[in-house]
Homo-oligomer: A and B are copies of this chain.
């Protein structure tokens, strides 16, 4: 039953998030002119133990030198490969309202090799040439197919969330970052764990960014800490 061949086992979500963090630290270290790094250092920078750093790296097949630590250049290119930095990572945005506009002007993920290549909004007043262009919804499907887009961000009002999600799915989108407070369910039912990630049998992944829940949780934590001191 178990594939025991070439491929290493698929790392889980927490591992991937840490790999992305290692990558950022490594870029900064390289910028400082460093050449080698120990699991020790990386762990300190990201706030995890050295053992975990080594385990994460070995899990994705990245090797170090028994005594010399890891070569930063090697680590950089390996992590970029694993995380898919080499492929084009283009995303579309649905909804050019306040959150949408904020994301459009948030140039930060370009540095990470990701790019919003178009936005879609039903309000004609929002349309513009770009880049990135803001287009009417009826151009969504063609755009996705022609450009081979696989990932979308949903930043529409709550009421439109499920409709938009259906449209994205039928256009062939495989991954969604959802900023609405709605739990997007995939056709049938099921889902939801810690409010972050969810899986869709037929092949669409939804990650939820639920600001209200995060804030709720924060209030709770703050209150509880105080109460327990």
Chain A positions within 8 Å of B, measured between CB atoms, are 10, 13-14, 16-17, 20-21, 44, 46-48, 83-84, 87, 89, 91, 97-99, 101-103, 105-106, 108-109, 112, 114, 150-151, 153, 158, 174-177, 181, 183, 189-198, 203, 205, 207, 209, 211-226, 228-229
Contacts and interface: CB of A to CB of B under 8 A. Distances in A.
Contacts of A226: 174
Given A47-B192, A48-B192, A223 B108 contact: no
Contacts of A194: 13-14, 17
B192 A21 contact: yes
Nearest to A20: B216
Given A47-B191, A98-B98, A222-B175, A207 B216 contact: no
A219 B47 contact: no
Contacts of A109: 211-212, 215-216
B189 A47 contact: yes
A226 B175 CA distance: 11
Contacts of A218: 151, 175-177, 205, 207
A61 to B, nearest CB: 14
A102 B105 CA distance: 13
A222 B173 CA distance: 10
A22 B224 CA distance: 19
A189 B108 CA distance: 24
Given A192-B21, A222-B151, A209 B207 contact: no
Nearest to A176: B218
21 contacts: A10-B224, A16-B217, A17-B195, A21-B213, A44-B189, A46-B192, A47-B183, A47-B192, A97-B102, A98-B105, A99-B106, A103-B211, A106-B211, A151-B215, A151-B222, A153-B215, A174-B222, A176-B218, A177-B211, A205-B221, A207-B214
Given A112-B216, A219-B89, A223-B87, A193 B106 contact: no
